[in-house]
Amino acid sequence: MTPSQAPDITTRSWVMVVVLGLVWGGTFPVIELALTEFTPFWLAAGRIGFAAVLTLAIWQAMGGKLFDTAPSTSVKLNLVAIGAMSTALPFMLLSWGQNYVTAGFAGVSMASVALIVLPLAHLLIPGETMTRRKTIGFIIGFLGVAVLIGPQAFSSSGAAGELQGRLACLTAAACYAVSSVTMRRLPAMDPVGLSAITLLIGAVIVVTAALLVEGLPVSPTPRGWFLIALLGLIPTAAANLLRVLVIRSAGPTFMSLTNYQVPLWSVALGVLFLGEPFRMSLLAAMVLILIGVALSQWGALRQIFAGRKGA
């Protein structure tokens, strides 16, 4: 898929986005457990490093070819930027920022990825025009996330570095948005190789930062190794490959719908499996998010359903 082609949103695209929302929404409890074994930067380094090694091994087994022709310097620089902004920088910014902000604000800041992607894609990606209906849909979806998290999302944490923490979370959201748009603009290349290379770049950056900020890591227990392997395999390696496939085919605007789902799945899974209390705001948020998704992706939905009727 070349960047000049219009986004190709299929039933497969919808399935991948829903799976991504479910996987990332269910990752937070595992991260909380892993933080009892690792410091924040080394946790990020471990999961990205594990994912990079695994994806590189799979890519090499498939032949290890990334480009059909030699890449330009600008493409190489874009790969470095994507590797930094899709994993390393946002992981570190969120780990640091959440020391100073409420969890609710962090959740809303991640939902803002969709709103940041919208104007960027409009300017830089063919076929991703920022129409009135699409804009209204994304705003309604964002309001759904705000309803889900509640008024505490914007309340003060009382921490001295709260402003800097909020800026860190919003910068992490901007990193995800810019990396998605940049990834879409890359020339045709193997998606497994693209996932492997960007994970490797991210691993180098975050391991270096972990050494400088936190020093040498402590030796984890067998439980710690299991949690790192789990986080590296599913929400990092597998999910990163799905993310690459969605962005390269359906586009960054469609991919950003995942950011509305993550807090929704997180709360829903907590109700279903952790015995957390059910709140009516969950239903209200679900309705708003679904309306927002339907409005923003009305053309794609209509095309899919029309295709099924004609089959």
Query: Are 256 and 122 in contact, with CB atoms under 8 Å apart?
Result: no
Any domain includes 175: yes
Any domain includes 111: yes
Q: Which of 95-104, 123-132, 178-187 has the lowest mean pLDDT?
A: 95-104
Exposure string over 69-94, b if 16+ CB within 10 A, otherwise e: eebeeeeeebbebbbbbbbbbbbbbb
Q: Is 137 exposed, middle or buried (0-12, 13-18, 19+ CB in 10 A)?
A: buried
pLDDT exceeds cutoff 70 at 291: yes
Domain that holds residue 107: 11-304
Please write the tens of the pLDDT for every residue from 148-187: 877 766 677 677 788 888 899 899 999 999 999 999 988 8
Rounded to the nearest 10 degrees, the angle between the axes of helix 73-83 and helix 162-184 is: 140
pLDDT exceeds cutoff 80 at 299: no
Nearest partner of 16 among 176, 184, 200, 244, judged by Cα: 244
Alpha carbon separation from 209 to 202, 214, 306 (Å, rounded): 11, 8, 50
Please give the tally of structural domains in the chain: 1
Higher pLDDT, 275 or 301: 275
Nearest partner of 193 among 114, 39, 82, 297, judged by Cα: 82
Report yes or no on whether pTM surpasses 0.75: yes
Any domain includes 6: no
Any domain includes 311: no
